[in-house]
Structure 1
């Protein structure tokens, strides 16, 4: 700390304590007279910050206030958010992060330690990343996006960088990943969002998206540079478009330590939900029939993870595939349809299985008789009363999971699903849902919040120094989350509440480390997985 000039010290978010610098520290670092005279404890600072947050009515304004604190005092930022995790997690990430992305260029103030890489400048990848980092040995986790498929709101170009920054903040809040070990990155490949291209405030490249060979060559160089600079780094891909996300994951997942939260993370959360549903319904996961409404990156990713769980339970892949039905823009997907993605082709039903092309969801439910309905479409209100009532006619305890977010893109509201199913539905939503009172029962609504999964997964990978992210590690993560659930009470949530985020993350991390050891893909020497995880959890304190 001594090498910093006084004003530089106060501007460094990792070293700045603000009004908590003691009188001795102020003398030592020549800060006397540069701060108000009264010395606050971190608890007193937190109380002051939280009081200010409570005085702000608009959630985006709350987000901006907190990210300003992130910019100036990283320790205090994490101390505040950790203490109020249930209330503030939706402010620093979903659903408020969606508004932050949309307004990014208009409200831009600082880069917040992110790296901005342009597909038009492949030669700049290495010097840009080196310039952003004072100690290359410290980077253990990169979250990278190209902003093409942000949440359910689409292509937001370079403004998607807010996702990388926010995602990494959740890693630290939930699992205690040291904020000095992470790097947010955005790849600016252009945008096909006309509103951005015509916006004088837009801060990204003002041309259509670069695709094809030039794009993939850039990704390849980015991966090579990253693994050269940080040999043990975990590469987390986030919010890439459906055409690129799967291609990138499939190319690199067996070569480097990498993970796509949209494809794998959401799927693992649904596997955890499926295990809970199996316990409540007394129907094993291997026997459930799955209808997924939305055949994009998330929908196919969810299907892939549940498919793996079915295979792990003893089914062959051929047997397990018979249990899946995917609905996308064309209707229920069948193998004779044009323009199916590679992921969709795997789940497309046989030609002639149905007498006609099925496009109405309520009709599809009656035709395929699913036990589980999952929404990943971003089509608000798609789960109509007719759809829910058809599910309830077919199943004593229908599992209905409209997990698209933010809330304005959710396929159904939890209160409607409970009401239309006469309280029998097992409900999971993508964004937070308030408890639902119905006929004297209080239903707690589980949230398919990937924050219950990926922070612990990332911490476990960092601790184990895993060579790759295996399917076994993902399965171990799903089962670790499930161990937190008490499903004996009527109205109990299918997934653990966000209030158990830290507990869930530690369980997930421990399970992931142990699985890495079991598969002999760890590079760190591990004798006790739990102790190894605990030793690397960072806590916000001065």
Structure 2
């Protein structure tokens, strides 16, 4: 039987019905109505009545009809329902649902619970030996059954996180043109300049809470991948949902395509982006300005723009500084990486003793990740010791491609490196910098693999009982050293964590579990905290709160295994605690707009989380 609401709508004159539903102008609706008629309560094309296939789209009608927008009116049932990824349940539709929603004959007769579907798919995924094949299988699943995709990811996070995110997403971006099936997210290129607001309105969802945007210039450690960088926003937002509980419909991946300087892509016939050199200067700035203005106009003050994701250093810092006072913006490469590393260092104090102020830090890499981490460590040191920020920075040293950053180089340094130029004679090689500075913590953010050599690790181990070594560059091939190398060269004394996952290592009859300083610990919970508090701006204190919340989740059992991060199996609980701390800080700073403040923010955060279990349809 036809629902009452639809029955009433159908009694309207067709013209009134279309104007009510679509709100379109008189001319377009009238033109469309000339080629359509009502047939048993369904709008069909006049030329198709009596044909074996109902030509809803006007594809077989006269040529003049081809210029009319092909509006259709339907309720998600039957064949349409099976092809709607948000509502499709596959073989989990019950007998009653198959009758009620016209699914008889469209599915095999077997019934399969979501749990059984999950078991079958995990079995199938494990048959693939190539990680990119698993990635493609997961993306196909996301496009046909959204809830099952997230159920798989939530229940098997440690196994599937490397598939949908680092390191596999790097290879996926490199080959995005070849594996491209269906567009995910919005592509905003120079062709859309002057009409970005309209492009945003083309996206079907209106209540967007998180946008992740990239311009593809610096994808992981792989360089300029142009338009193919879309894999990063898509992957990051799937983690906002799976790990942080942000509903999928509230997430929007965006790629800003201003061209690419990658000659290989420009010559690739399968490349999906603009085939031109990367735009810079005023043309680039104007496109970004239009995008940021349009985002605020279309989605409001509280939409979180995880902005400048995998942007090149020279743009990332400038854009973050420019928009942090006018928009709710967050750069995961700079701020998220910093927060997760600081959390690991706070946790590591339980293993090495002392306070953060007792340590000396040396970085290999002085880009957005390295300087972002350094600044947050200095900020935390300043807060703990009450010393000025200029003073706490002196405990942190950076090495770039030209050697140790020292005062004598200050005139030639980029602006974001200048605060780290301390008094010291020039040092070229990393191993010499280690011997000269004698750091307790060595952090790699260079994007260059195999740079923590045996000499470097042995030097760290020579004056540290437990050297802290963080090889953070992604993907795995770009890691400064492997877990096995760190443990062997330090004689099993290193406290090690990496950016990409490594398998457990056995050394001297002891098994070491290398930790992963993965941004996925921080950004999903941080995003949820900003959303539930209705925050209108980001503040560095929120990053510090997130770090403390994460470090507090490391248990004694984790420490006993040498871990400074908790296992990902508890990530949604961890995210809820991070969200609560971030939200509490937003309320404390007067940046929250959802009032009054809930009494129990952890419980409230958990109650706001999206859960991917199937629902019953009536």
Same fold flag (TM > 0.5)? yes
> More deviation in 274-283 or 505-514?
274-283
1:39 corresponding residue in structure 2: 111
Matches within 5 A, 1:337-376: 337=409, 339-350=412-423, 353-354=424-425, 357-376=426-445
The reply on whether 1:215 has 2:284 as its aligned counterpart is yes
Higher relative contact order (CA 8 A, sep 6+): 1
The reply on whether 1:492 has 2:547 as its aligned counterpart is no
Please give the secondary structure, in 1, of the residue aligned with 2:252.
strand
Q: Quick one: distance in 1 between partners of 2:533 and 2:282? A: 35
Indicate conservation of the 8 Å contact 2:216/2:230, yes or no: yes
Indicate conservation of the 8 Å contact 2:228/2:273, yes or no: yes
**Deviation at residue 119 of structure 1 after TM alignment:** 2.7
**Deviation at residue 26 of structure 1 after TM alignment:** 2.3
2:581 corresponding residue in structure 1: 511
2:271 corresponding residue in structure 1: 202
Match of 1:267 among 316, 338, 356: 338
> Which string of whole-angstrom CA distances, capped at 9 and with x for unpartnered residues, describes residues 386-440 of structure 1?
1111111121211111111111000001111111111221111111122222223
The reply on whether 1:330 has 2:402 as its aligned counterpart is yes
Q: Quick one: distance in 2 between partners of 1:52 and 1:522? A: 45
> More deviation in 3-12 or 116-125?
3-12
The reply on whether 1:60 has 2:137 as its aligned counterpart is no
Match of 1:90 among 139, 162, 174: 162
Q: Quick one: distance in 2 between partners of 1:89 and 1:479? A: 23
Indicate conservation of the 8 Å contact 1:464/1:522, yes or no: yes
Change (3 A) 1:5 1:440: closer
Matches within 5 A, 1:181-196: 181-196=250-265
For structure 2, the 5+ residue unaligned runs are: 4-73
The reply on whether 1:229 has 2:298 as its aligned counterpart is yes
Under a length normalisation based on structure 2, what TM-score does the superposition of the two structures give?
0.84
2:43 corresponding residue in structure 1: none
Match of 1:413 among 477, 482, 489: 482
The reply on whether 1:383 has 2:455 as its aligned counterpart is no
2:81 corresponding residue in structure 1: 9
> More deviation in 119-128 or 445-454?
119-128
The reply on whether 1:467 has 2:536 as its aligned counterpart is yes
Indicate conservation of the 8 Å contact 2:526/2:546, yes or no: yes
Matches within 5 A, 1:395-410: 395-410=464-479
Q: Quick one: distance in 1 between partners of 2:348 and 2:128? A: 39
Match of 2:523 among 441, 449, 454: 454
Please give the secondary structure, in 2, of the residue aligned with 1:236.
strand
**Deviation at residue 490 of structure 1 after TM alignment:** 4.2
1:292 corresponding residue in structure 2: 363
Q: Quick one: distance in 2 between partners of 1:371 and 1:434? A: 25
Give the number of aligned pairs.
535
2:550 corresponding residue in structure 1: 481
> Which string of whole-angstrom CA distances, capped at 9 and with x for unpartnered residues, describes residues 126-149 of structure 1?
12111112x41x211101111111
Indicate conservation of the 8 Å contact 1:115/1:186, yes or no: yes
> Which string of whole-angstrom CA distances, capped at 9 and with x for unpartnered residues, describes residues 152-206 of structure 1?
1111001010100000001111111111111110000111111101111101001
2:12 corresponding residue in structure 1: none
Match of 1:77 among 149, 169, 173: 149
Indicate conservation of the 8 Å contact 2:217/2:224, yes or no: yes
Q: Quick one: distance in 1 between partners of 2:268 and 2:569? A: 40
Please give the secondary structure, in 2, of the residue aligned with 1:313.
helix
Please give the secondary structure, in 1, of the residue aligned with 2:422.
coil
**Deviation at residue 5 of structure 1 after TM alignment:** 5.5
**Deviation at residue 287 of structure 1 after TM alignment:** 2.7
Q: Quick one: distance in 2 between partners of 1:383 and 1:185? A: 35
> More deviation in 448-457 or 413-422?
413-422
The reply on whether 1:303 has 2:374 as its aligned counterpart is yes
> Which string of whole-angstrom CA distances, capped at 9 and with x for unpartnered residues, describes residues 264-298 of structure 1?
00000111111122232223112311111011111
2:178 corresponding residue in structure 1: 106
Q: Quick one: distance in 2 between partners of 1:260 and 1:539? A: 26
Under a length normalisation based on structure 1, what TM-score does the superposition of the two structures give?
0.96
For structure 1, the 5+ residue unaligned runs are: none
The reply on whether 1:312 has 2:383 as its aligned counterpart is yes
Q: Quick one: distance in 2 between partners of 1:131 and 1:454? A: 27
Match of 2:97 among 4, 7, 25: 25
Match of 1:252 among 302, 315, 323: 323
Larger Rg, first or second structure (1 or 2): 2
The reply on whether 1:129 has 2:203 as its aligned counterpart is no
Please give the secondary structure, in 2, of the residue aligned with 1:43.
helix
1:278 corresponding residue in structure 2: 349
> Which string of whole-angstrom CA distances, capped at 9 and with x for unpartnered residues, describes residues 452-505 of structure 1?
111000011111110111111111100000111135754420122222222211
**Deviation at residue 349 of structure 1 after TM alignment:** 2.2
> More deviation in 471-480 or 336-345?
336-345
Q: Quick one: distance in 2 between partners of 1:208 and 1:339? A: 27
The reply on whether 1:445 has 2:514 as its aligned counterpart is yes
2:312 corresponding residue in structure 1: 241
2:232 corresponding residue in structure 1: 163
> Which string of whole-angstrom CA distances, capped at 9 and with x for unpartnered residues, describes residues 49-70 of structure 1?
1111111111100110010000
Q: Quick one: distance in 2 between partners of 1:206 and 1:5? A: 42
2:25 corresponding residue in structure 1: none
**Deviation at residue 6 of structure 1 after TM alignment:** 3.1
Indicate conservation of the 8 Å contact 1:441/1:490, yes or no: no
Q: Quick one: distance in 2 between partners of 1:39 and 1:487? A: 44
